[in-house]
A and B are shown apart, each in its own frame.
Chain A
Amino acid sequence: DQQVKQNSPSLSVQEGRISILNCDYTNSMFDYFLWYKKYPAEGPTFLISISSIKDKNEDGRFTVFLNKSAKHLSLHIVPSQPGDSAVYFCAASGFGGGSQGNLIFGKGTKLSVKP
């Protein structure tokens, strides 16, 4: 039973355009959401997070939107750069549903930004 779902395994975007990565979750007990970026042969690195009491959080070119009623979050990257090409993981945490405060990850979306 997958509690955090990233339904798009891959996404290709032109440099300078917007990249939108989507994530859905099923557990209403989740109260904190994060995005991690992963390059090959490296561990995931934290990108941006959002608390369930907010609907938007912005950090430079990265913005995360949270729609609690739809149990959906998205990561917007504007403008996209070739160095953004990586696998992006959505993660959620919260007590209840077995997560016990630890991160539950989606399967990831591979973003390719073409020059």
Chain B
Amino acid sequence: DSGVTQTPKHLITATGQRVTLRCSPRSGDLSVYWYQQSLDQGLQFLIHYYNGEERAKGNILERFSAQQFPDLHSELNLSSLELGDSALYFCASSAYVEGADGYTFGSGTRLTVV
């Protein structure tokens, strides 16, 4: 157990729908990162939050949004889902606001859009 909790583990939904993925960071970590891993692709950086504030955006679609709450958990909202959004979505947490050291990943949410 890495200490980063992602729910649900699996999600199957239809095209056009909206889903919310949840991440609870490791205790004491203030940074939360979201990554997407599509078939045969590496992990693509989506977005980074630190202590409730958005710090950086990567290749995140406009249909996707995220937020980090006062208790530091984060949610990734995916709307108007398309077949191509099927992927593994990973959350990672870190104690730091900057720098790549100390990322701890959750076990991911597998999203299947049918």
A residues contacting B by CB (< 8 A) are 4, 6, 32, 34, 36, 41-46, 49, 89, 91, 93, 98-108
Contact = CB atoms under 8 A, between A and B. Distances in A.
Contact of B2 (A4, A43, A108): A43
B4 A43 contact: yes
Interface of B: 2, 4, 33, 35, 40-45, 48, 55-56, 58, 90, 92, 98-108
7 contacts: A41-B107, A43-B92, A43-B107, A44-B90, A49-B101, A101-B100, A105-B35
Contacts of B2: 43, 45
A44 B43 contact: yes
Nearest to B59: A98
B99 A93 contact: yes
B108 A43 contact: yes
B49 to A, nearest CB: 11
Contacts of B100: 32, 34, 49, 91, 93, 101-103
Contacts of B4: 43
Nearest to B91: A43
Contacts of A91: 43, 100
A105 B43 contact: yes
A51 to B, nearest CB: 10
Contacts of A99: 45
Contacts of A32: 99-101
Nearest to A2: B42
Contacts of B105: 36, 43-45
B33 A43 contact: no
Contact of B45 (A41, A43, A45, A102): A102
A98 B106 CA distance: 24
Closest 7 CB pairs of A and B: A43-B105, A93-B100, A105-B42, A100-B56, A107-B42, A105-B43, A101-B98
